[in-house]
Structure 1
Amino acid sequence: MSKLVLNMPCNTFTLETIMCCVFGLKAFDVAVYFEILKCKPAKINEIAESLNRERSTIQRSAQSLMNAGLILRKQINIKEGGYYYKYEAIPFLDVKEKIKKTMNDWSRDVCKWVDEIEENDANELINNLI
């Protein structure tokens, strides 16, 4: 995958930083999402082994990813009793659509906010900073 970099006047964004910002994730959570996407449904211990991390670390990331709506957890019942979970990532196309919607909403809100700023408000803000 080519390195997507978006240069803004005051910051540079990558796919990782955009996903962190939009979904409230940590960088490692993004790595876990892509590992689950690559592995298809996978157990926590499989992901942990693949990323060379502790199960508890992967479980925390999986919880964050579920809260963000980026992965699903399915309970698999064992015939002899008990169960385990498999995790599946939502398609990356859906993630891209969520990112675009969030960024469009944000852009619209910023434009509306800028339109509502009066010159007096800006002067007052500057005076408070000085």
Structure 2
Amino acid sequence: MANSIHEMIRASFRCEDMVKCVLGLKSLDIDAYKALLMHGPLTAEKLGEILNRERSTAYRSLQNLIACGIVYRETRSIDSGGYYYEYVAIEPQEMKQMVKKNVDEWYSQMNELIEKMDDKVSALVMRMDDEES
């Protein structure tokens, strides 16, 4: 994976790479999201089985997905008493809109910083001129 914007521009990025970068996810998180899309709502234990990982590893991945908003959990009741959680992936189109919104916000913030660069550079040049005087 590229380490800078400069490298990203020149690299051949896949959609997965972009989503991982924008949402701060790992490859396992993307695999977990895909499994939820393919299989529908799953428990952490069942997801772990599908991913061939421990339940605790699947659970950490689910927490990452919940934190970025592309998975949510639903409480299910057990007839004999108690409950358990199933995890549900949002639709790909919703995720796409979320990624687009994040990119648009980032782009706007970067443009604001770029505009402020003129002021910062001017202040630095004036300070250097003052020090030389």
Q: Normalising by the residue count of structure 1, what TM-score does the alignment of the two structures yield?
A: 0.79
Question: Where does residue 14 of structure 1 map in the other structure?
Answer: 14
Question: Where does residue 114 of structure 2 map in the other structure?
Answer: 114
Tell me, in whole angstroms, the C-alpha distance in 2 between the residues paired with 1:40 and 1:10: 36
Q: Which runs of 5+ in 1 are unaligned?
A: 1-7, 125-130
Tell me, in whole angstroms, the C-alpha distance in 2 between the residues paired with 1:75 and 1:41: 11
Q: Which has the higher strand share?
A: 1
Q: Which has the higher helix share?
A: 2
Tell me, in whole angstroms, the C-alpha distance in 1 between the residues paired with 2:100 and 2:76: 34
Tell me, in whole angstroms, the C-alpha distance in 2 between the residues paired with 1:36 and 1:120: 48
Tell me, in whole angstroms, the C-alpha distance in 1 between the residues paired with 2:120 and 2:47: 55
- For the pair 1:29 / 2:29, whether they are aligned, the reply is yes
The Cα shift of 1:22 comes to: 2.0
Matches within 5 A, 1:69-88: 69-88=69-88
Q: Which runs of 5+ in 2 are unaligned?
A: 125-133
SS of alignment partner, residue 99 of structure 1: helix
Percent of counterpart pairs with the same letter?
33
The Cα shift of 1:119 comes to: 7.7
Paired amino acid for 1:10? E
- Deviation >6 Å, runs of 4+: none
